[in-house]
Chains A and B, each alone.
Chain A
Amino acid sequence: MKKICAIILALVLLIVPMTVSVSAAGDLNANEQKIITELKKEVAIGDKTFVVPAQYVTQAENYFKTIDVTDAQAKEILGYIAEGEKLVVAQKITATTDLKVLKNDVKSKILDLGKKAVAVTGDVLTYDGKHVTITDANGKVVFKNAPIVKQTGEQVDFTAIALISLAVVTVLGASVVIAKKNALFVK
């Protein structure tokens, strides 16, 4: 579910850069508010309801704070959201609330829509099988559905350390053997 929601949201975020004006206001204007309201709306599929996770909506909100969206632009953005919703609703999922069950061709269609939008704006959408990432022309992250809680400790590859340590011991051992062979040690 999260992946698909992320892709839908990604579509929205991708469309925005090509439609914004140069001056960006900190507050959300009425158009941006419409989009956020739409993103917060529950989507009913059969007897199940689906929502975009709060952290993705907040990412969109925070992004909108750095830009301005006009009325016409909002219409286009809302159109993309509707298109994504329509595609998902048409699948008539009833057994689960997890959108992972969507067929691959549906997922591909959503992903392709995102990639086309990215190509128009010069941005890049990548999906590595786990995460949807949107980056701008400068490679700066616009959106990513990464885990909320990050790894914040030093990472050490203990396997590498073990192998290197073994190599060190071998080298030292070999040097001792060679030294003895060449009678470098004085008795």
Chain B
Amino acid sequence: MLPLAFFIITLLFLYCTFKPFVEVATGAWSVFASDNGSDDTEIYNDIFTDSALLGYDGTVNASDITYPSYGTIYGKLEIFTNNTVYSMPLIFGDNNACLKKGAGHYSGSHFPGEGTTILVSGHNTNYFNCLKHTKVGEFIEISTNYGKYKYEIIDVSPKFKNDKSAFDLNANTETLVLYTCYPFDVVGYKIDRYYVTATLVSGPMIDPYN
């Protein structure tokens, strides 16, 4: 009886010890199984409907757009790299809960089509693990209810997390900045981020006065 008790206790200890590593592994697996259902739906609104009618050009009136509140899925982010399309929900907000669900749009940055910087983060173990494959010249697309936006990657580089040269939230040109923790394969607190910067190629601009 005693050896059995020790065996069970040891198993429990081993489970506690390796649980974080198992989570990392399952997180990485979710890259390949990102369409699996989630139980987070009750705390998130989802206002995104993928429409084949969405265009890449023209102008859209701001008054015709339903803007998301914090924690709302409002689009789809697709990263074209490594001969694969990595697709994920785009959420307005970037707290822990948001980042578990998809790519998180920092609420202090602007929306696609507003002509300035869009700052988006994701976990390096799942949704944004693919950033390590990205190269200059590849494309990223954002689909929303009001239009589709195509961006071309112009820079891929690791930087210190607070490096002010990484992005400018007041930029006069539309720039999509994706980032995740760096290095990718090291577990624990990280002070660097892997930044992928892309400029707008096509997509309807928002008219803020109509």
Q: Using CB atoms and an 8 Å cutoff, list the residues of chain A in contact with chain B.
A: 25-28, 54-56, 58-59, 62, 65-66, 140-142, 144, 146, 148-158, 161, 164-165, 167-168, 171-172, 174-175, 178-179, 184
Contact = CB atoms under 8 A, between A and B. Distances in A.
B37 interface: no
Interface residues of B, number: 59
A93 to B, nearest CB: 25
B13 interface: yes
Interface string B52-63: 000000000111
Given A26-B63, A146-B95, 18 more contacts: A27-B62, A54-B108, A54-B169, A66-B67, A140-B70, A144-B95, A149-B162, A150-B94, A151-B190, A152-B123, A154-B20, A156-B20, A156-B187, A157-B20, A164-B17, A168-B14, A172-B6, A175-B3
19 contacts: A26-B67, A27-B61, A27-B63, A54-B170, A58-B169, A62-B107, A62-B110, A146-B95, A149-B161, A149-B162, A152-B180, A152-B193, A153-B187, A154-B20, A154-B124, A161-B20, A171-B10, A174-B6, A184-B3
Nearest to B6: A175
Contacts of B16: 164
Contacts of A65: 62, 65, 67
Interface string B1-24: 011001001100110110011011
A34 to B, nearest CB: 15
B196 to A, nearest CB: 13
Contacts of B9: 171
B185 to A, nearest CB: 10
Interface in B19-59: 20-21, 23-24, 27
Interface centre among A59, A141, A152, by most B CB within 10 Å?
A152
Nearest to B21: A156
A140 B43 CA distance: 9
A144 B97 CA distance: 15
Interface of B: 2-3, 6, 9-10, 13-14, 16-17, 20-21, 23-24, 27, 61-71, 92-95, 99, 104, 106-111, 119, 121-125, 128, 161-162, 169-170, 179-181, 187-190, 193, 208-210
Nearest to A145: B108
Given A171-B13, A174-B6, A184-B3, A59 B108 contact: yes
A174 to B, nearest CB: 7
A146 B70 CA distance: 14
Contact of A58 (B64, B110, B187): B110
Contacts of B170: 54
Given A148-B119, A150-B94, A55 B109 contact: yes
A153 B121 contact: no
A154 B23 contact: yes
Contacts of B193: 149, 152
Closest 3 CB pairs of A and B: A55-B108, A153-B181, A27-B62
A63 to B, nearest CB: 8
A176 to B, nearest CB: 10
Given A66-B67, A141-B70, A165-B17, A154 B27 contact: yes
